[in-house]
Amino acid sequence: MSIKKPLIIAFLTVLSCTMGRTQTNVISPYSAIGLGDILYDGMLHQSMSGGLIAGFNSSLLSNPANPASLGFLRSTAFEFAATYQYSYLQDGDKNAGIQSGMPDYVSLSFPMRNPVTELLEQKNTDYGWGMGFTLSPYSRVGYDLSSTIYEQDSLLITRNSRASGGTYLFQWSNGLRYKNFSLGISLGYLFGNIKKEREVIPDIQKNPNAAYFTDDIRLKAFKWRIGGLYEWQLNPNEINSKKKKTLSFGTYFSSPQKLNGTVDQFYRTKRLAFSGRDQDLRDTLVLGSNDLEGGKIPLELGIGAYYDDHQHHSFGVDFAYSDWQGFNYDVLNPGGDAALSKGYRIGLGGTYIPSPGDVNFFRRMSYHYGAHYTLDPRLVNGTHLTDIGVSGGITLPAFYIRQVTYIHLGLQAGRAGISDGIMDNYFKVSLGVTFNDNSWFLKRRFN
Strands (E), 298-422: 299-308, 313-323, 338-340, 342-352, 366-380, 383-400, 403-417
CB-hemisphere CA count at 13 Å for 80?
A: 15
Average pLDDT over residues 282-294: 81
pLDDT in tens, 94-136: 888 888 888 899 999 999 887 766 655 666 788 999 999 999 9
CB atoms within 10 A of CB 28: 24
Using a pLDDT cut of 70, give the percent of the chain over it: 86
Residue 330 main-chain phi, psi, to 5 deg = -65, -35
Mean pLDDT of the chain: 86
> How many Å apart are CA 315 and CA 87, to the nearest integer?
29
Per the structure, the count of domains in the chain is: 1
* AA identity, residue 362: F
> How many Å apart are CA 225 and CA 186, to the nearest integer?
5
Is residue 373 in some structural domain?
yes
Q: Which segment, 6-10, 201-205, 272-276, 334-338, is predicted with the most confidence on average?
A: 201-205
Average pLDDT over residues 321-349: 84
Using a pLDDT cut of 90, give the percent of the chain over it: 54
Is residue 266 in some structural domain?
no
Which whole-number Å values give the CA distances from 388 to 84, 88, 422, in the listed order?
19, 15, 15
Residue 361 structural domain: 4-138+165-190+222-257+297-437
Is residue 345 in some structural domain?
yes
pLDDT band at 1 (very low <50, low <70, confident <90, very high): very low
Average pLDDT over residues 309-329: 91
> How many Å apart are CA 303 and CA 292, to the nearest integer?
33
> How many Å apart are CA 186 and CA 67, to the nearest integer?
6
> How many Å apart are CA 61 and CA 73, to the nearest integer?
7
pLDDT in tens, 205-246: 777 788 899 999 999 999 999 999 999 999 888 777 777 899
pLDDT of residue 22: 41
Alpha carbon 54 to its chain's center? 15
- Range scoring the smallest mean pLDDT among 45-49, 53-57, 120-124: 120-124
pLDDT band at 341 (very low <50, low <70, confident <90, very high): very high
pLDDT band at 20 (very low <50, low <70, confident <90, very high): very low
Residue-by-residue DSSP string for 45-79? HHHTTT---SS---SSS--TTSGGGGGG--SEEEE
29 Cβ partners below 8 Å, 6+ apart?
Answer: 89, 143, 145, 422
Average pLDDT over residues 9-23: 47
Is residue 279 in some structural domain?
no
* More confident of the two residues 391 and 10: 391
Is residue 206 in some structural domain?
no
> How many Å apart are CA 342 and CA 249, to the nearest integer?
24
Strands (E), 112-205: 127-151, 155-178, 181-202
Give the domain CATH number at 253: 2.40.160
Task: Tell me: pLDDT of 19 over 50.
Answer: no
Q: Which segment, 22-26, 65-69, 194-198, 322-326, is predicted with the most confidence on average?
A: 65-69
pLDDT of residue 278: 54
Alpha carbon 390 to its chain's center? 17
What sign for the dihedral angle of Cα 172, 177, 181, 183? negative
Is residue 315 in some structural domain?
yes
pLDDT of residue 24: 43
pLDDT of residue 426: 95
Task: Tell me: pLDDT of 433 over 50.
Answer: yes
Alpha carbon 166 to its chain's center? 12
pLDDT of residue 5: 52
- The predicted model scores a pTM of 0.87
* AA identity, residue 443: K
> How many Å apart are CA 445 and CA 447, to the nearest integer?
7
pLDDT of residue 214: 93
- Range scoring the smallest mean pLDDT among 211-220, 379-388, 398-407: 398-407
Is residue 388 in some structural domain?
yes
Is residue 208 in some structural domain?
no
* More confident of the two residues 305 and 120: 305
User: Are 139 and 36 a contacting pair, CB within 8 Å?
Assistant: yes
pLDDT in tens, 125-171: 889 999 999 999 999 999 888 888 877 666 788 888 899 999 999 99
Which whole-number Å values give the CA distances from 164 to 81, 140, 141, 296, 388, in the listed order?
22, 8, 5, 21, 25
pLDDT of residue 119: 59
